[in-house]
Amino acid sequence: RTIRGTVTSKENIKETLVGVTIIRRGTSPQTSVTDINGNFSITAKTGDVLSFTYIGFAPTQVTVGSANQLSVSMATATSNLNEVVVVGYGTSTRQEITGAISSIKASQIAQTLSPTLDQALQGKVAGVVVNSNSGQPGGGVSVQIRGVSTLGNAQPLYVVDGVFFDGGDTNSQVYTGGAPTTNPLATINPSDIESMDVLKDASATAIYGSRGSNGVVIITTKKGKVGAPKINFDTYFGVQQLPKQIPVLDLQQYAVFRNERDRIFFNTPRVEFQDPSVLGKGTNWQDVIFKNAPMQNYNLSISGGDARTTYLLSGGYFNQEGIAVKSGFKRLNTRLSLENKATNWLKIGTNLQVTRTNEQINNQDGNLIQLAIRQSPDIAAVNPDGSFGGPSSSEFVLSNPYGLTLLSTNERQRSQIYGNLFADITFLKDFVLRNEYAGNYEFGNIVQFTPTY
């Protein structure tokens, strides 16, 4: 059933909280966000646990009972001034920083099922606007740290273990002619991230020069810790579905509309539309192109080490089918983190990741969803003989978008190797010289085929 409610501040009950993230726990998690009035709605049953999280407030959990209306109040969280924060030139504590820096820990990232790390920022950092550019699984998102009024390219700079990545969805050059839906950050597994620090103002990003003019996101991946070998495995499985459809005319309503229009313009009405009451519902093109889509993720890692050497080796597999037909995203990755304290004054190490992604895209020659919604309900998606139906006139869409999508092939495959080698030389107690070499290498190809139709 649908549970509705309002989220307010515990200190001021009249203050409603906008943008609170609500997650229904369980085997099939669901997420909702409060609107401008602090109201929310989410599907849940008796006994389900709802988790409420919001920047600056302590997480709150509520167990669903028999009531369909909830009133939730959240208490202000106390800040940890000794928290370690990563900045451009090293690390510092929260109480020593005067710049605008927000931090996200691995535990916060694990609360949401984000296929890419830029999507993991959504709803977790105040003042950061995250919007999906295409809705394509694994596709790029728009992240704006300094407001939606930023001119030009407003994407921040991402620094992953010293390797630079430009955000957005138009920066990858591994495809001839460009790939507008390619997300350069989709190759990074969010489960490998230890922390993300968002540097917002000029003082915090100054070390990066003009590349940091739109803000910087510093990402630190997980590393091995001293101790016995530790094996960790986590997985989740879910099903995505369309929350609601765009209202459109069914066949009976469309016939009434056509008859009235033909009467006004003195056109000859269609014979089959003479009595709309005997017609069925016709083709609902949204039912045709949308489906319930599974999503699965598997991660396995082994880590450990002693006083001199620590290591972490991890591997992951992610597979997300899109709710629109012929769309999906797969990622297979492995990562190695190795550090060795060779002497009292020298520490060497490496972070290396190898990733393979495959994107299946359904909009090679146009927008599938737009074309499907524009198509009239009197056209059959599939004829009784198994062939694809098609329009008999050029009044609306000239083709069967469902048929064209199934017959066409549009896949984008990408392989990436990125990482760094470093050596830390300690001269004095508080003086360390770090020498580092970092690289990011990509290659890929597009597989496209469009048969006659």
- pLDDT for res 363: 63
- pLDDT for res 351: 94
Three-state SS at 278: helix
Question: What are 292-316's pLDDT values in tens digits?
Answer: 999 999 999 999 999 899 999 999 9
Task: Tell which wins on pLDDT, 11 or 363.
Answer: 11
366 — pLDDT class (breaks 50, 70, 90): low
- pLDDT for res 66: 86
153 — pLDDT class (breaks 50, 70, 90): low
- pLDDT for res 278: 93
- pLDDT for res 349: 95
The Cα–Cα gap between 20 and 33 comes to 5
Given a cut of 50, whether residue 111 has pLDDT beyond it is: yes
Q: Is the pTM of this model over 0.85?
A: no
Task: Tell which wins on pLDDT, 142 or 385.
Answer: 385
- pLDDT for res 416: 93
Which range has the worst mean pLDDT, 171-175, 189-193, 260-264? 171-175
Three-state SS at 336: strand
Beta strands 101-105; 227-240: pairing state? unpaired
Given a cut of 70, whether residue 357 has pLDDT beyond it is: yes
Question: What are 389-424's pLDDT values in tens digits?
Answer: 887 665 655 688 899 889 888 899 999 999 999 999
Q: What are phi and psi of 203, to 5 degrees?
A: -65, -35
Three-state SS at 277: helix
DSSP 387: P
Sign of CA dihedral 136, 190, 19, 148: negative
> What average pLDDT does the segment 351-372 reach?
84
Which domains, from first to last, does the chain contain? Answer: 2-74 (2.60.40.1120), 84-221 (2.170.130.10)
- pLDDT for res 95: 43
177 — pLDDT class (breaks 50, 70, 90): very low
Identify the helix (H) or strand (E) that includes residue 445: strand 431-449
> What average pLDDT does the segment 361-366 reach?
65
Burial of 244 (0-12, 13-18, 19+ CB in 10 A): exposed
Given a cut of 90, whether residue 335 has pLDDT beyond it is: yes
Question: What are 66-83's pLDDT values in tens digits?
Answer: 888 999 998 877 555 455
Task: List helix spans (H) across 88-186.
Answer: 106-109
- pLDDT for res 135: 79
Given a cut of 90, whether residue 353 has pLDDT beyond it is: yes
- pLDDT for res 81: 46
> What average pLDDT does the segment 2-17 reach?
86
Number of helices (H), then strands (E), belonging to the chain: the values are 6, 23
